Amino acid sequence: MTTYRLITANRNYSSWSLRPWVLMTALGIDFADEVRPFEAPVNYAAFRAFSPTGQVPALIDTLDDGTTRTIWDSLGITLYLADRHSTVWPADPAARAWAMCAASEMHAGFGTLRNACTMNVGVRVAMGAPGGALNRDIARLRELWEEGLNRFGGPFLAGPAFSAVDAFFAPVAYRVRTYALDVGPAGQAWVDHMIAHPAMQIWEAEALKERWREAGHEAELIAAGRIIEDYRAE
């Protein structure tokens, strides 16, 4: 019986939604999938109906007694699932410790990358030369990914199996492709491996079918550079 209901937003835009969705899908954790699209520049009031923060994602867990428990924020959802599913984090203690730190760094950091390279799965963008702050974020990504891949042997960031740290960087894999960011050979190999993952392929296929366009996200895309390919449904 499915006890989890995961509420996410647009596949094309919502990087925070992708994290728990790809984690649960890749690990075979059953859940009811519910999409609440960004229908306005600010969706706080509408999203407050299911999340105390007025943001996505949110996980609703139906307990044995029929009551429900709401878990919000992609990190909160991941920690909650880790208490109940042993494969969320790597089994090896060293890999698990590294994965937890790297996922936390992604959750709290890389602000310039997030703002300058908004997630948009269905397009390809020609950017100008990255500025200093963005270059620092990209350099740190490369350093961090190479560390994990070299220490734990790949092909995933913390070893042979997909785990939460891959889910946390999954939106960055799409960003690297969209904006042709240079993350080095090892980092690019991880990006290619991630985008080819069946769960990521499902997410992308659904993203390309979406006809929703939200003005704020589209404006961020135009600010980033020149759109050279757009594979989204019209």
Which of 121-154 are b and which e, b meaning 16 or more Cβ less than 10 Å from the residue's Cβ?
bbbbbeeeebeeebeebbeebbebbbebbeebeb
For residues 149 and 62, give the distance between their C-alpha atoms in angstroms, rounded to a whole number.
Answer: 37
- For residue 140, pLDDT over 60 is answered with yes
For residues 75 and 44, give the distance between their C-alpha atoms in angstroms, rounded to a whole number.
Answer: 19
Among 43, 61, 82, give the residue marking a domain's end: 82
Scanning 117-214, the segments in alpha helix (DSSP H) are 132-152, 164-179, 184-195, 198-209
Non-local (6+) Cβ contacts of 97 within 8 A are none
20 preceded by cis ω (within 30°)?
no
Residue range 50-74: mean pLDDT, rounded: 94
Sign of CA dihedral 172, 163, 136, 188: negative
Is 223 contained in some domain? no
Is 88 contained in some domain? no
Binning pLDDT at 50, 70 and 90, where does residue 2 land?
Answer: low
Q: What is the pLDDT of residue 162?
A: 98
Residue 44 and residue 64 share a domain: yes
DSSP count for the chain of H helices, then E strands: 10, 6
Q: What is the pLDDT of residue 39?
A: 73
Residue 118 and residue 161 share a domain: yes
CATH code for position 139? 1.20.1050
Q: What is the pLDDT of residues 167-207, one digit of tens each?
A: 999 999 999 999 999 999 999 999 999 999 999 999 999 99
CATH code for position 58? 3.40.30.10
> What are the backbone angles phi and psi of residue 133, rounded to the nearest 5°?
-65, -40
Query: How far apart, in Å, do the first and last CA atoms of the chain sit?
Result: 37
Domain count, the chain: 2
SS3 content of the chain, % helix, strand, coil (to 5): 50, 15, 35
Which tokens hold the place of 73? 């924020």
Binning pLDDT at 50, 70 and 90, where does residue 1 land?
Answer: low
Among 82, 113, 147, give the residue marking a domain's end: 82
